[in-house]
Amino acid sequence: MEPSQVVESAREPGRQQRMSVICWSSDLDRVWPTLILATTGAASGLDVNIFFTFWGLRVLQKNNKRVTGGNWMQIGESIVDRGGTGHLKLGKVHFGGLGTWMIKRLAKQHKVADPEELFQMAVDLGVRLYPCQMTMDLYGLSKDDFVEGLEPPVGAASFIEMASESDFTLFI
């Protein structure tokens, strides 16, 4: 899959249109729209950046990485809050706990790609995926805990630079 075109910014002639997203949550119902917008944006010819921070950092974790962190708090948090695009859950208890299973099933019936597939599409389409360095420190996560294809970790100052050069920026 390749972007069909490069779209020019309406605001700054001569520059590619750019969108940035803060992925702050690891809830399925927030990560899904994040990845749909990111892949759609990239496929439409935009330059797309996502900054994964706070709960959202867990999205970048390898699906088979069960326990992470160095001290008991970090280890405990990693067990309670399982990471990886294959393990995301809805942000609210829904439909008596069946919600996550059900929405994934509905999506499959309607051929909507799931978060694992969308994430890989994002990488393939050149979406830039930035882990937040500060959150990595808090969680005790290192590069080895993450999937392939990410940019180097950055901090809030880099995100602000990204956002201020973007045509639009969303906090999701």
Binding residue (CB under 8 A) for its own copies from 5, 75, 76, 97: 76
Kindly state whether residue 117 participates in binding its own copies, applying the rule CB under 8 A.
no
**Among residues 114, 119, 90, which one has the least CA distance to residue 104?**
114
**Strand pairing class (168-171; 128-131):** unpaired
Kindly state whether residue 114 participates in binding its own copies, applying the rule CB under 8 A.
no
> Least distance (Å) from its own copies to the CB of residue 108?
10
Q: Scan residues 28-67 and list those touching its own copies (CB under 8 A).
A: 29-30, 32-33, 36-37, 40-41, 43-44, 46, 53-55
Binding residue (CB under 8 A) for its own copies from 65, 112, 116, 120: 112
Q: Scan residues 79-98 and list those touching its own copies (CB under 8 A).
A: 80-81, 91-92, 94-95
Cα 47 from Cα 151, distance rounded (Å): 14
C-beta closer to its own copies: residue 14 or 148: 14
